[in-house]
Structure 1
Amino acid sequence: MNEANFKILFVCMGNICRSPAAEAIFTKKLTERDILHKVKIDSAGTHNFHPNAPPDERSQKHAFKRGYDLSNLRARPVVEGDFEEFDLLLTMDWDNRALLEEMCPAPHRHKIRGLAEFLQTTQASVIPDPYYGGDQGFEHVLDLIEEASEGLMKFTLQKIKA
């Protein structure tokens, strides 16, 4: 199969902490289930603060300790074509969501959701930005993304009929 039948874009502000972590975590989960070929995964930022930069070193360090490699990912901004291409655009927080909805053509706004909507047990409405915090913030973000990825996997499996 050349074309993935479901496409997900993870979105945060600068595309150097949360969204690349989500991309790597969900990619690994899809790979473990041998269904990565059925789903296209990417990440982007609402702001172009770090064009083509690798993920934040702290994000890479904490993710790597859990078996996720972010080193090949590069930051990019959300572009107009993303709204057409992706089936699901998952934002990390309310600011990201508001900016994305503002940028998004009306016919595609239904594709925008929050990643935290897929949390299984944790009560959180956002995946908080760890950028200005310490190590615990990065660990907390990874905990939330891993948990949300389980709910997202259930949703994705329904979409791809795997």
Structure 2
Amino acid sequence: MRRRLAMDGLADDVTVASAGTHGYHVGEAPDIRAVEAARYRGVDLSALRARRVDADDFERYDMVLAMDRDHLDFLRRLAPPKHRDRVQLFLDYAPDHKGHDVPDPYYGSEDQFDTVLDLIEAAADGLLDEVHRRLGRKAG
């Protein structure tokens, strides 16, 4: 998403962050298979470190996107009532995958990381269109 925003000249206008719903891997780098699959597509994930979502995230961000419905439910319960509408399912921004979960490739094969990246890229394209709409700009 950051790369797409930068390519559209929006990197200074939009903040993107990533967080997990549980603290199992706080401070750790992404799975090496994810890093390698992303690197092959020209995206560098090596500097990312895991963190857990916190209550301030619902104030800080206009959108909080969940990768699957279990996380969606968790985040909606965690969100203050006035910000529950900010919590959405990420793949709802991918026209062919609305209502679907991004599968967790952790216990799967390396190919599953590519499949997940395909889904993420499709949703990122739709999300970029939404960012343009919210900012009142035409897509670049």
Task: Tell me the CA shift for residue 31 of structure 1.
Answer: 0.7
Give the one of 43, 51, 58 matched to 1:83. Answer: 58
Task: Tell me the CA shift for residue 98 of structure 1.
Answer: 1.1
**In the alignment, what sits opposite 1:133?**
108
1:25-59 deviation line (CA, Å, top 9, x unaligned): x0000111111111010000000001111111110
**Are 1:159 and 2:134 counterparts?**
yes
- Misfit runs of 4+, over 2 Å: 120-124
Distance in 1 (CA, whole Å) between partners of 2:80 and 2:96 is 33
**In the alignment, what sits opposite 1:116?**
91
Aligned length: 137
**In the alignment, what sits opposite 2:27?**
52
**2:89–2:99 contact (8 Å) kept in structure 1:** no
**1:120–1:150 contact (8 Å) kept in structure 2:** no
Could you tell me the percent identity over the aligned residues? 36
Task: Tell me the CA shift for residue 83 of structure 1.
Answer: 0.9
Task: Tell me the CA shift for residue 102 of structure 1.
Answer: 1.5
**In the alignment, what sits opposite 1:96?**
71
Q: Secondary structure at the match of 2:96?
A: coil
Amino acid at match of 1:72: A
Distance in 1 (CA, whole Å) between partners of 2:101 and 2:124 is 14
TM-score by length of 1: 0.81
Distance in 2 (CA, whole Å) between partners of 1:57 and 1:89 is 25
**Are 1:38 and 2:22 counterparts?**
no
Q: Secondary structure at the match of 1:90?
A: strand
- The answer for unaligned runs of 5 or more in structure 2 is none
Distance in 2 (CA, whole Å) between partners of 1:143 and 1:71 is 19
**2:67–2:91 contact (8 Å) kept in structure 1:** yes
Task: Tell me the CA shift for residue 123 of structure 1.
Answer: 5.9
- The answer for unaligned runs of 5 or more in structure 1 is 1-25
Distance in 1 (CA, whole Å) between partners of 2:107 and 2:98 is 22
Q: Secondary structure at the match of 1:151?
A: helix
Task: Tell me the CA shift for residue 121 of structure 1.
Answer: 3.0
